[in-house]
Structure 1
C-alpha cells in the first residue's frame, strides 16, 4: 500500500490546489498541508511553489511526482496480482476506447471467457487519453486504443486496421451523390467526437497532413457518446467521420449511408498497449486470442 502522504502529494500535483485535494481525499486542508510539509522535511527539498491560486511543482517536486506515480501504479498491480494468486477466479483489468470497447471487444471478451471460465475481465470504456492515463496509473493491465499515442513510452502490438468513413442520413444532400470532396465535407455541419478521442485525433491529423487547417472545419456539435452521435446523424442533423465498425448495424438497417470522400481515405490502427510484463501470461494469451479470433 502506498504511503498516504505520497498519495496526498500526487493529488495536489494533479489538482494544483490544496482544497481540491482535500475534498478528493476526504481529509482537511490542514491535513494536506501537514502531509506536504512532512514530505518536504523528509526529502529536504521544496516540492511546490505558489503561483496565484495554483500550486506548481518545483523541479524536485516533478522528480518526486514521476517516481510517486510509478510507486502508486506498482502498488495497484501488486494488489491485483496477489488477489489473483489467492483466488479461484482471476480478475484482469482492461481498458478500451469507445469504438473498440463498444463494437469490437465485448464479443471477443465473451468468447475468451467461454474458454477461460475462471477468468473475469473488467472493462473500462473511455477515450484514448483516459485509457492511457489509466494505464500509467496502474488501473488497467492492458489497453486497446484507436488513436495516436507515444509509442516510445509503452509496449504495443497491432490488432488490426480500421477505416474512418463519412456517414450521413439517407435524407442528407450527400446521400444522392456517388462521392464528395473533403472541401464539401468541411463546409457541411460536422458532428464530431469530443477532443481527446482517437477518432477525432486521427481525422484532425489527416486534415493537417493533407494541408488543411482545423479552422476549416464547420463543427456543429461535439459528442462524447457514439450512440448519441449516430442517432443525431440518423436524424439528419449533420454528417460525421466515424469508424466503419460503429455504424455496421445502422448501414444494414438503411438508416445511415457511407459516402466515399474523393482521394481522402482515412486508415488507422487498433493497438494493444501495456507498460510491463508483470501480467505477461494473461496479456500474451489475450492478445493472441483476439488476433486469432479477429
Structure 2
C-alpha cells in the first residue's frame, strides 16, 4: 500500500499543477504543498522546480516518479492477483490496433485452453497504452512503435516484415 503522499506526488506529476491535483484529490492546495514538502524532507531533495511559471520535475523528482510508478503498478497487480485467488484468473493488457489484430489467434488459443481466465484488452495508440501502463490500468502492452526503452522493460514478441504499397504511376522522390 502506497503512502497517501505518494498518491499526491503522482497526481501533481500528472497535472504539473498543485491546484488541479488538489481538485482531483478533493483536498486543499496547501495540503498538496504539505505532502510534497514532507516527501522532499523524507528524501532530502527538491522534487519540483519552476521554470518561469511552469512546474517541472527535478532530476530527483524523475527518479522518484519512475520508482513510485513501478511500485504503484506492482501494488495494483498484487491486489488484482489476490482478488483473483478468490475468483478466477485475469489479465489486463493493451495493444495498438495493428499489433492487436496480429495476436487475436494467440488470444483465442489461450482462452480455449484456460476457460477460467478473464482477459481485458485495451486497443489504443502507443502513447495512451504507455499511460495506462504507468497508471497500473494494464499489466503489459504490445506496441509496434518506438518508446522510451529506459522507462520500461521490454522483449521482442514478433518480428514482421513491412510491405509498402503505392498506386500505379507513383514515382519515388
TM bin (shorter chain)? 0.7 to 0.9
Name the one with the larger strand percent. 1
Does residue 152 of structure 2 align to residue 135 of structure 1? Answer: no
Computing the radius of gyration from Cα coordinates, the structure with the larger value is 1
Q: Distance in 1 between matches of 2:65 and 2:2?
A: 13
Q: Secondary structure at the match of 1:155?
A: coil
| Offset at residue 5 of structure 1 (A) | 0.8
CA contact (8 A) 1:17 1:53 kept: no
Question: TM-score, normalising length from structure 1?
Answer: 0.51
Q: Report the RMSD for the aligned CA atoms in angstroms.
A: 2.5
Correspondence for 2:35: 35
More relative contact order, 1 or 2 (CA 8 Å, 6+ apart): 1
Correspondence for 1:180: 170
Matches within 5 A, 1:1-294: 1-87=1-87, 89-101=88-100, 103-151=101-149, 153-166=152-165, 174=167, 177=168, 180-183=170-173
Correspondence for 1:244: none
| Offset at residue 90 of structure 1 (A) | 0.6
Q: Distance in 2 between matches of 1:180 and 1:163?
A: 19
Question: TM-score, normalising length from structure 2?
Answer: 0.81
| Offset at residue 45 of structure 1 (A) | 3.0
Gaps of 5+ in 1: 168-173, 184-294
Q: Distance in 1 between matches of 2:32 and 2:20?
A: 10
Q: Secondary structure at the match of 1:182?
A: coil
Gaps of 5+ in 2: none
How many pairs does the alignment contain?
Answer: 172
Q: Distance in 1 between matches of 2:68 and 2:149?
A: 23
| Offset at residue 165 of structure 1 (A) | 3.6
| Offset at residue 32 of structure 1 (A) | 1.5
Q: Secondary structure at the match of 2:158?
A: strand
| Offset at residue 123 of structure 1 (A) | 0.6
| Offset at residue 18 of structure 1 (A) | 0.7
Q: Distance in 1 between matches of 2:147 and 2:45?
A: 34
CA contact (8 A) 1:96 1:125 kept: yes
CA contact (8 A) 1:13 1:55 kept: no
